[in-house]
A and B are shown apart, each in its own frame.
Chain A
Amino acid sequence: MSSRPEFLAPPEIFYDDSEARKYTSSSRIVEIQARLSERALELLALPEDDVPRFLLDIGCGSGLSGETISENGHQWIGLDISASMLNVAVEREVEGDLLLGDMGQGLGIRPGVIDGAISISAVQWLCNADKSSHEPRLRLKAFFGSLYRCLSRGARAVFQVYPESIAQRELILRHALQAGFGGGLVVDYPHSTKKRKEFLVLTCGSVPTSINDGHKESGSDDDDDDSEDEENGMVCVSDRNRPRKKQRTNKKGKGREWVLRKKEQSRRKGNDVPADSKYTARKRKSRF
């Protein structure tokens, strides 16, 4: 793993002209950000009435996430602390309005006017103290407080984040809840270290019973370790990778060990399972 950019320099320094250009010309990054933004929009759960909504893109960068908003027919305001990233957004003629600003200073937006907010790969930056005057807790508080106020009641905010640690994820979540938000974590691809993606889904105003958008596991073999219930929030593990993961077995099939384990599991549940023998998990001849 390359080291995390937020440890290298403050965002407005790290995302300078050359990094902003590099970031936006990488087809891999463009594709990943588009996919994350698409998923975040889905989790925003806007009414399906074909009426465009007025959204915020926090840490909008060069406009990759905003473009997904436009493609879905909505209007947006993008906020970013890096002038270089915003310049690239201008060059790319994004449709949203851009603001140079620091989310840690709070959003200067009137109460109740925004229909929803997304933030893709940006909020983890807030947990750093880049200047001696920076106190991450105060900055998180200012940010979530102002975000809560500017959203209309019932609106959602969806953050895709790369928390550096469990403590950091908790810090972010705690400040969101303290600001008045309800909601919790949605995890896509929980079993893949590479593809695992976390979304903080927050609801403003109405009390959510649960945020249940993650695609639930349905099989019985999910007694692994994905129940990381946070104290306050709701954790929802979604199962987007399950089918692919099942296919990712060697050509010889899943192997004898796997079959034996599954049979044992099933036996423990009280099912009627054939006894193990030397034929167990053997491949049949192609002409059986």
Chain B
Amino acid sequence: MSALALELSTIGVLMRRALNEILRVPGAAIPGILAPSLFMLGLTGAFGALTELTGFSTESYISFILPVSLMQAAGFAGAATGVNTVRDIELGWFDRLYLAPTPRPALLAGIVLSAGFRALLPMTAVLAIGLLLGAHWPGVPGLLIAILLALTFSAVSASWTVGLALRFRTQAAAPLMQASMFIAVLFTTSYAPLELLTGWLQTVASINPVTQVVEGVRQGFVEGVSFAGTWPALVVLAVLLGLTFAFALRGLATTGR
């Protein structure tokens, strides 16, 4: 088999294993669906009136918050991949992967990309609930861009948390994985536009690169998609994916040995 074919089929079997797990233990998906859905419902209930302030690009708060929930769903799915990786390390499953002659990036890619599968169900649930409750229909391009960006974010989240898993090698790191993703999405323009944020939150949100991604996912739901609204998100995701993947790859190559 050619080297590329070997790498692709390795990625394929690892993704299939993850899909297999999702399908055979459907109950495990429930927290990943509930958390972002409840987050969306809770915030809409509490802060729905915020959109009456000037500065909001929409008068529908659920349209504003639905994209954030999509990002939360993607981030949690990535973190679940990290948590499962700890379990796989403890079970010795990782030894099986290490013992394969496949190049390490292919092993990691198979694991990281499978986060996309995990994200699909929660993202669908969030979209369905949000649209039912009156969020603006983003249009097909807006929807596709939102899904693409959120799925890529799940891979970023998975790379980051798998990197943590490979370093900590214990279930005790699970809250760190989940919290880091929660915070990464929350400390952005998640609640309100940047102009309306104040103090440290405004500073953090304006520095936090995830803000660009949240805005990119959000554009179709609040005003309509544009190239100018999309490319910063793509650039940020490419850089984040590169950095977090390298972080995980380093963990794969050096730690626990």
Partners in one complex: no
